[in-house]
Amino acid sequence: MVEEKSKPKRIGLLTSGGDAPGMNAAIRAVVRAGIFHGLEVYGIYSGYRGLIEDDIVPMKEQSVSGIINHGGTILRAGRCEEFKTEEGMALAEKNCRKHNLDALVIIGGDGSFRGGLEFYNLHAVNTIGVPASIDNDIAGTDASIGFDTAVNTAMVCVDKLRDTAEAHERIFVVEVMGRASGAIAIDVAVACGAEGILVPEVEMDIPALCKTLQVGKERGKNSFIVIVAEGATSAFHVAREIEERLGRETRVLVLGHLQRGGPPTAHDREMASKMGAYAVDLLLAGKNTRMVGIQSGKMVDHHLSHAWEERAPFDEQSLLLAKRLAI
């Protein structure tokens, strides 16, 4: 059941957890949609830490001018252990009262939403969540802010790596982000025509991978790209196994936090704008402790707990496609 409160007059806005390209577009949408509807919007810097330390400032239309094409977040992001304590939340609630904030919009992942729900349970501050995670591991939305950009960033890097792999007839193992989700790895593998892929959702089978590479070599293929999600195993471990089994020089590229940066794609900008504006719509409708999502092209909302109580669907069909096309 959706809990309801009176419509807010002044809302606080923060970005929390890991940064994701498109967060700035979501910030811009919340600020401008809020002002359009006559609300006051306050920016909270450095996530929940800013709420505890009173790093809170009013935002106007011009506060978000020229940011839609920038990666990162102008409000800065991070994790705050102190906010997980009752003492920390009490300080945060005190600052909400100081600035007369009667609602929060939190742009982040399921960990950020957990904090927002706990804060509501203790201090009844209305909270709306906007999903932003390059891992695309948040249930209740087809995609989260930053995922498309991360995939495209990794794709460009792998495309460039393919050139040198072919020139030197080498095997490259590329590690992409994804602690518990192989979403980035799968999309990159399909888009780049990778010859191998390892993801945390499926048990690792190095012998089968090496057999695929060996069959490709016998058919005249001289270079290979293997994509590994960081949550599956270490790319260096995979490279050592390949070298020992096939006797071929194998190099490693770990893309790491490179995938978090850079200008967001058009898809991420548009999606973040829709989600940010919809978060304001939910507040105006009296909705509480809800998470914004987009499913089958339509705006939806779920209880914040949906983000971690349910699992984001695993794209097994695309994984099978990547493997079928790797022959």
Which residues, 6+ apart, have CB-to-CB distance to 76 below 8 Å? Answer: 15, 45, 46, 47, 50
Contact 248, 242 (CB under 8 A): yes
Positive or negative CA dihedral for 260, 262, 266, 272?
A: positive
Measuring CA to CA, which residue among 180, 175, 201 is closest to residue 137?
Answer: 180
Contact 149, 177 (CB under 8 A): no
DSSP state letters, 186-209: HHHHHHHT-SEEE-TTS---HHHH
Tokens representing 248 are 């071929």
Residue carrying the six token digits 């811009």: 28
Q: Residue 140, SS3? A: coil
Contact 88, 49 (CB under 8 A): no
- Catalytic center residues: 135
- Core vs surface per residue 81-111: b (16+ CB within 10 A) or e: eebeeeebbebbbebbeebebbbbbbbbbbb
Residue carrying the six token digits 């548009």: 270
